[in-house]
Amino acid sequence: MISRGLMVVLVVFLLVKGFGLVRDHGKFLIKVFDVGQGDAILIRTPQNQLVVIDGGPDYEVDRYMDKEFLLNGCKIDLIILTHPHQDHVKGLNRLLNRCSVDVIIFNPVEYESREYARWFENVEGIKVILAEAGDVVMVGRTRFVVVWPVEIGKDKDNINNSSVSVLLDYGDFEGLFLGDLEKEASVKIDLDLLAEYVDGRLEVYKVPHHGSKDSHNMNLISFLKPKMCIVSVGEDNKFKHPDEQALEDMENFGCKVRRTDREGTIEVLINRR
Amino acid sequence: MAIMFARLYVVCEGDVYTCGGAGEERTKSKISEIPFIGKFRNNMAQVSRKHLPSPHSELVLGMTVGIDKFYEVPIFKEMLRDTGTIHVVVVSGYNVTLVYTTIIKLLGTPYKSKNIILAVSGTLFFAVVSGFEPPVVRAWVMGSIIAVSKFYGRRINAMKVLLFTGLVLIVINPKYVYSLSFQLSFLATLSLIMFESNVSAKIKKVFKKDSLFAEDLSATLSAQTLIWPYLSYKFGTISLISPLVNALVLWTVPLATMMGAVFLALGSLSGVLGAVLGVFVYLPLDFFVLFVEFFSKFTKLMLNVQVSLTFLIIYYLFMFGIYVRGSKLE
């Protein structure tokens, strides 16, 4: 049934797709996927390990992740769930349906939702690390340092403040990913812990909670002086994120603001060693 | 291939099966709420999610068993809409034809009454499992009439059968008149009956020899002849890129549909079979996905033009005149 012509088309197509994969091979990339109002971030290490932080509000993350593989297989080295809100957990559940995952980091805070219940079903049989500030997880030569929460399973009154927050450290490159952490929690982050790993200015700051006013922490920004501030936010969202004043403050500190609602998926290529 | 286009454009804002305009009512059937069918559909969804990524998984479910999960990939759904390829996500007359011809091929000949009964019953079962949507019902009634007529050696006029089928369905369920999926399925089939042979002849002159691309292009353009002004009238948009994208990607649809059906059936029996067959289904689907993603970037080729009702009527009368003149000349 499959004619020779179709076979040729499919083979050429696979070669073109394969070329794209070879092009990214060995590069250190951060991709903040455009998943609308939510977070889904992929980190590809120079040793080609894949780390996913949150999965967004639907299955779009899987469409992006599929581009990392030639065929329909999927292997992820580390998944970090910052907190159990749907716009962070749902896409991860989709990935867990079909991907082989080595390690999972999350904070098992008490929260009731169908997607969070599914999360617990999906992580069964996978190595889980319950996140606590000071934990260090190595993925190849890339270090992930947990900077929040200080206590496992706390902050159930405001789930945003239970967000697992990690500092990515690779050579002299550092990035900070805070989930939806609000200011009342982020002011409690141990700055000495951050200072231990951050060399000079922070390279990438994933702006917490889609750039909301409540998450804007000037102390942290003035301490880290980030070079690039990435806001993962949906176009014309009902929450009116991000906060204009917060963006202005970040720009005033010399941080280049990039937004997924304006640019789509944001890719950061890291050349440092 | 041509009949595939009868599944054109039945997706509107937020609802795959019908459109919530004035005077329109939901026509989505409640077949999937029947326990056995609901369980069957859930099982299919689990198999496809385990072995295929999104939106490939959603595509195979839409193409083969009419399960609409495209709300899970809203950005991709928007791309399908922009490129005029969203019709592939719904089960349509094309699938009914595919099921019918497969059963007949397995049984051997369409000239045995037992085979006809089995094929018609088999397609009815498929129509029920896939949700018994208006385009499927239309195709099943129409296909059954044609199959029985052929069996008795009668010459059939496709136009008359289509009009008769439309009338019968409206008498049975008058709400179908307001169903956009029914309207578009009817219009696309009518358009193919009226213009496919002429358009195909002209395309063949341009391309000199037969090719899948030429075949798909002629089917797309034929179906679009009566569809585009109606879509423009209803939604205020005309996709200039749609015929090209359809011609480029539609060859993947029958391939993915047939392999997808085997994948879902055997994959629910064995995980290993699901994993192996998943690779084969993935290839045509991935080709489809990447082309749709690529062409969706050309948003300037999506025109915001709304034709008036007067234009629509004059246009249809004009096209009908062309068809009648062409028929007389023949």
The interaxial angle of helices B56-65 and B35-51, nearest 10 deg, is 150
Distance CA B41, CA A26 (A): 42
Q: Quick one: chain B helix, strand, coil %, rounded to 5?
A: 75, 0, 25
Which residue among B54, B255, B282 places its CB closest to the CB of A94? B54
A115 has a chain B CB within 8 A of its CB: no
pLDDT at B1: 41
Q: Which residue of B has its CA nearest to A1?
A: B255
B128-187 residue pLDDT tens: 877 777 888 888 888 898 888 888 888 888 889 999 999 988 998 888 888 877 888 888
How many Å lie between the alpha carbon of A121 and the closest alpha carbon of chain B?
14
For residue B55, list chain A residues with Cβ-Cβ distance below 8 A: 59, 63
Task: Give the pLDDT confidence score for residue A272 in this predicted structure.
Answer: 59
Choose the mutation target among B283, B290, B296, B297 for the interface with A, i.e. most A CBs under 10 Å. Answer: B283
Lowest mean pLDDT: which of A127-136, B81-90, B274-283?
Answer: B81-90
Residue B126 has pLDDT above 70, yes or no: yes
Q: Which residues does chain A have within 8 Å of residue B258's beta carbon, measured at their own beta carbons?
A: 1
Count Cβ–Cβ pairs < 8 Å, chain A vs chain B: 71
Lowest mean pLDDT among B80-89, B169-178, B247-256: B80-89
Compare A230 and B37 and report the one with higher pLDDT: A230
For B313-323, the pLDDT digits (tens) are: 999 999 999 98
Res B121 pLDDT > 50:
yes
Give the C-alpha separation, B59 to B4, whole Å. 15
Confidence of residue B202 (pLDDT cuts 50, 70, 90): confident
Residue B291 has which token pair?
């082309």
Query: What pLDDT was estimated at residue A200?
Result: 87
According to the per-residue pLDDT averaged within each range, which of B12-16, B97-101, B163-167 is highest? B163-167
ipTM: 0.91
Q: Does A98 touch chain B (CB under 8 A)?
A: yes
Nearest to A72 among B75, B279, B284 (CB): B279
Among B49, B73, B282, the residue with its CB nearest the CB of A71 is: B282
What is the arithmetic mean of pLDDT over B99-125?
88
Question: In A, which residues are within 8 Å of B50 by CB distance?
Answer: 97-98
Contact A72 B49 (CB under 8 A): no
Q: How is residue A52 annotated by DSSP?
A: E
Touching check for A70 and chain B: CB below 8 Å? no
Position B11 scores a pLDDT of: 34
Bridge-partner residues for A104, per DSSP? A79, A128
- Is A100 in the B-facing interface, judged by CB distances under 8 Å? no
**Nearest CB partner across the interface for B278, out of A5, A59, A72:** A72
Q: Point out the residues of chain A with pLDDT beneath 50.
A: 1
Among B22, B24, B87, B119, smallest CA distance to B223 is for: B87
Query: Can you give the pLDDT at residue A211?
Result: 94
Q: How far is A20 from chain B (nearest CA, A)?
A: 12
Res B15 pLDDT > 90: no
Assigned token pair, B33: 């709420």
* Contact (Cβ atoms closer than 8 angstroms) between residue B185 and residue B162: no
Checking if the pLDDT of B73 tops 70, the result is yes
Residues from chain B that touch A5, judged by Cβ atoms under 8 A, are 212
Cβ-defined contact of B212 to A5 (cutoff 8 Å): yes
Cα–Cα dist A197/B209, whole Å: 66
Pick B53's closest partner by Cβ from A9, A35, A74.
Answer: A74
Q: B3 pLDDT exceeds 50?
A: no
In Å, how far from its chain's centre is CA A212? 17
Interfacial residues of B (vs A; Cβ cutoff 8 Å): 49-56, 58, 71-76, 212, 251, 255, 258, 278-279, 282-284, 286-287, 289-290
Which residue has better confidence, B279 or A23? B279
pTM: 0.85
Give the three-state DSSP class for A76: strand
Provide the 8-state DSSP code for A28: E
The answer to whether the CB atoms of A97 and B251 lie below 8 A apart is: no
% of chain B surpassing 90 pLDDT: 29
Instruction: Indicate the Cα dihedral angle B176, B181, B182, B187, nearest 10°.
Output: 140
Instruction: Write out the DSSP string of A192-217.
Output: HHHHHH--SS-SEEE-GGGG-GGG--
What is residue A250's predicted lDDT score, i.e. its pLDDT?
94
Q: Please answer yes or no on whether A63 and B287 come within 8 Å at the CB atom.
A: no
- The A residues from 76 to 95 touching B (CB cutoff 8 Å) are 94
Contacts of A2 in chain B (CB under 8 A): 255
| C-alpha distances out from residue A58 to A55, A100, B54, B217, B308, Å | 8, 19, 10, 34, 38
Average pLDDT of B229-247?
A: 87
B212 chain-A contacts, CB cut-off 8 A: 5
pLDDT band at residue B4 under the 50/70/90 scheme: very low
Q: Look at residue B31 in the predicted model and tell me its pLDDT.
A: 60
pLDDT digits (tens, 9 = 90+) for A79-106: 999 999 999 999 999 999 999 999 999 9
Given a cut of 50, is residue B27 above it in pLDDT? no
Least Cα separation, residue B254 to chain A (angstroms) = 11
Closest-CA residue in chain B for A234?
Answer: B75
Flag if A14 and B283 touch (Cβ within 8 Å). Answer: yes
Average pLDDT over residues B67-90: 86
Does the pLDDT of residue B278 top 60, yes or no? Answer: yes
Residue-level pLDDT at A2: 52
Answer yes or no: are the C-beta atoms of A53 and A208 closer than 8 Å. Answer: no
